């Protein structure tokens, strides 16, 4: 009989672009056009008047998945060695 360990990790990853911009490479009558999402107010100047359109919210990404690993017996592998069930990176608080 072989002793194996089954480990399951639930991974939750998220992030936000501080600034996301897409710019045309072609000039129009009013200059090049840039689509920008940086969290600031979105305004448009039309016929000399500045019009508030809203807020260009930052683009956020979040995803979850489960990772299942079967660890064979022996000293090598990714098995749980200290009994802690919750692992978090100290550099990335929730």
- Domain membership of residue 94 (yes or no) is no
10 and 36 both lie in a single domain: no
Confidence of residue 6 (pLDDT cuts 50, 70, 90): confident
24 and 48 both lie in a single domain: yes
More confident: 79 or 16: 16
Query: What range does the domain containing 6 cover?
Result: 1-15+61-80
Domains held by the chain: number: 2
DSSP the chain: ----EEEEEEEEEEEE-S-EEEE-SS-BTTB--EEEESSSEEEEEETTEEEEEEE-PPPEEEEEEEEEEEE-SSS-SS--SS-------TTS--
43 and 70 both lie in a single domain: no
Q: In this predicted structure, what is the pLDDT of residue 40?
A: 92
- Domain membership of residue 88 (yes or no) is no
22 and 47 both lie in a single domain: yes
Query: Which pLDDT tens digit goes with each residue over 19-70?
Result: 999 988 776 676 777 888 999 998 888 899 999 999 999 999 999 999 998 8
51 and 65 both lie in a single domain: no
pTM for the full model? 0.47
More confident: 79 or 15: 15
């Amino acid at each position: 009989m072989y002793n194996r360990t089954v480990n399951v990790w639930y991974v939750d990853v998220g992030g936000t672009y501080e600034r996301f911009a897409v710019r045309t490479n072609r000039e129009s009558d009013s200059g090049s056009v840039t689509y920008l999402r940086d969290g600031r107010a979105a305004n448009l100047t039309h016929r000399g008047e500045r019009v508030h359109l809203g807020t260009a919210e930052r683009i956020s990404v979040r995803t979850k998945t489960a990772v299942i690993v079967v660890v064979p017996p022996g000293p090598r592998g990714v098995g749980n060695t200290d009994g802690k069930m919750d692992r978090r990176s100290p550099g990335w608080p929730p």
